[in-house]
Amino acid sequence: MEGLVSPKAYEDTQSQKRDQEIRDLRAQYNEKKFRVSNTAQTRLRDIDSQISSKKNIVVGNGAGLGLIAGVILGIPGCTHGASGAAWLGTLAICTVVGAIITKSIKSTSSLDSQRATVSAKMQEDLSKLDQECEAKVKGIEQRYQKAIDSQRVQFEEAQREGSVSFIGSPIAKEITDSMLTPLLETIRSCDRRPHIKDITAPFSFEVYSNKVTSTYGTYDFMIERVKFLQSIEEQAALANAVATAIHTEIIATFEVDPSGGEVDPMDIDYQYGADYVKASMTYHATNGNFVEARSF
């Protein structure tokens, strides 16, 4: 296991690199989104300015039309016989000004349509950038997770190989027996009354540099006069050796559950802390004494 770091340490390092890479990526995309938004907002302000100008034309022409019409229509009151000419003049002016107003309204409508298009395009582009960024974030996460999983597999393989050095060790057997004896008793004493369908007995222990701890107590290296382990690699190798010995003994002792039920295969799960290695397994069997509830 020389040269390998613990999965926990490796994962911490890789997680820091992953998070920094993701932060850098998001910063790049935030800059892209800013440029898209800024360009669109500039265009929208220009359109709004044009719309405002067109509306001012409509209002100004309308007011002017009213003033001119008022003046012309007032002429007949001062000059008799000129009413026909006044009405014709008013009609002509109204026609011209009305055409100007109509053109301005159409132009404003066109600008409104342009504004809606620019706004929709901005939202579409921003959404695409978000989707593109999240897809890349997912790719980064998967890449780092693949590296973490690969390193863990490599470490566990080295851990199994390193456990050979503890096989046959009297101290490793002492540690194993200190947990195995009460564990077997726990399994035997599980509740197997007829209403219990499944029998479950979880078990775990942690290997530190100076001790091994479990539900059944602590094997203290200093008290037991045992040299401390020198690395997380040694801790992992000892955990593997002890867990394998306990696992093997449970399988041999309980080929069938004491109730007569079938015993399920057991897996050993390893977890790696900053200063310990944890081994976990669960005894699981069908209760041969189980009885289905009866009908009245």
- Please report, for the chain, the start and end positions of each structural domain, with discontinuous segments joined by +: 7-160, 168-286
Q: What is the mean pLDDT of residues 75-79?
A: 52
Alpha-carbon dihedral of residues 138, 141, 145, 147, nearest 10 degrees? 110
| Per-residue pLDDT reduced to its tens digit, 200-258 | 999 999 999 999 999 999 999 999 999 999 999 999 999 999 999 999 999 999 999 99
% residues pLDDT > 70 (the chain) = 81
Asked if 212 contacts 218 with a C-beta cutoff of 8 angstroms, the reply is yes
Phi, psi of 202 (to 5 degrees): -75, 150
* Entry pTM: 0.67
- 63-72, 80-89, 200-209, 272-281 — which is least confidently predicted? 63-72
What distances in angstroms separate CA 290 from CA 235, 265, 274, 293, one per listed residue?
A: 41, 20, 43, 10
